[in-house]
Amino acid sequence: MPYLKLRDGAELFYKDWGTPSGQIVTFSHGWPLSSDNWENQMVFLADRGYRVIAHDRRGHGRSTQTWDGNNMDTFVDDLQELFEYLNVRDAVMVGHSHGGGEVTHFLGKHGTSRVRKAVLVGAVPPLMVKTSKNAEGTDLSVFDSFRQAMHNDRAQFFLDVPSGPFFGFNRPNAKKSEGLIRSWYQQGMNTSFKSAYDCIKDFSETDFTEDLKKIKIPVLVLHGDDDQVVPLQAAGAKSVKLLPQGKLKIYPGGSHAIHNINIDEVNNDLLEFIRV
């Protein structure tokens, strides 16, 4: 399996699939998952001649479980190293949830010289937590409850999240997938406790407002209007107003994980956006 040794000695696991000379599409996963969460999109695009690259964020999946560095600045610096190592050019970046924050901060901090377009899927920007200037946000007590649930029984918490709000399986008449629940659980439990815990603060309290304003390339924002984790009106609907070239597509009844549930629609939306 391919790994990149980073500047501090940590090893970053990555997948590099498809046609080596093809248009590059990169994927950044959500909390507390890994690159495996993007497999449907990666196979779909790789089968159509694209080169698809996805990594396990440090502390997640198969990457090194570092004690420190579980924050957005470190994550995007890791990604910049990976892009340099793999000579990523003219890419389309795709990020879900926390990974959408990673894409946003990467472009805000490292610029767009390697990237031509981006896609944010159920992404956390501009800011998740409720503040005096962000009344639509989620109260800090909710994220505190996440931290407490991890301390009390991480394994049970990591079953409750995918069994309920993440995929929308708590909705009436939802078609529940035991396989998706188990996959989420496995990915989550493979992430270090410290990284998963620290990243609750990172995805909820990082303010991406200024990053969004800096991104001058086209950005497609995909968001479900029944996203119970990152509500549309507090996230995608606000982000698209800050992006100079943002375009929002709303998925009626869509959950937080539209790329796992509305697979064909998301795949076709990605393909259409990439091709233009």
Catalogue the active-site residues.
97, 227, 256
| 106-117 core/surface letters (b: 16 or more CB in 10 A; e: else) | bbbeeebebbeb
Amino acid at 254: G
Strand order, beta sheet including 115-121: 3-5, 11-18, 51-55, 24-28, 91-96, 115-121, 219-224, 246-251
Beta strands in the chain (DSSP E): 3-5, 11-18, 24-28, 51-55, 91-96, 115-121, 219-224, 246-251
> Tokens in use for 194?
């410290």
Backbone angles phi, psi at 262, to 5 degrees: -95, 60
Cβ-contact 235, 127 below 8 angstroms: no
How remote is the C-alpha of 107 from its chain's centroid? Answer: 14
User: Cα(98)–Cα(116) distance, rounded to whole angstroms?
Assistant: 21
> Tokens in use for 60?
């997640």
CB neighbours of 75 closer than 8 A, spacing ≥ 6?
A: 57, 58, 102, 105
User: Cα(87)–Cα(80) distance, rounded to whole angstroms?
Assistant: 10
Amino acid at 221: V
Is residue 92 helix, strand or coil? Answer: strand
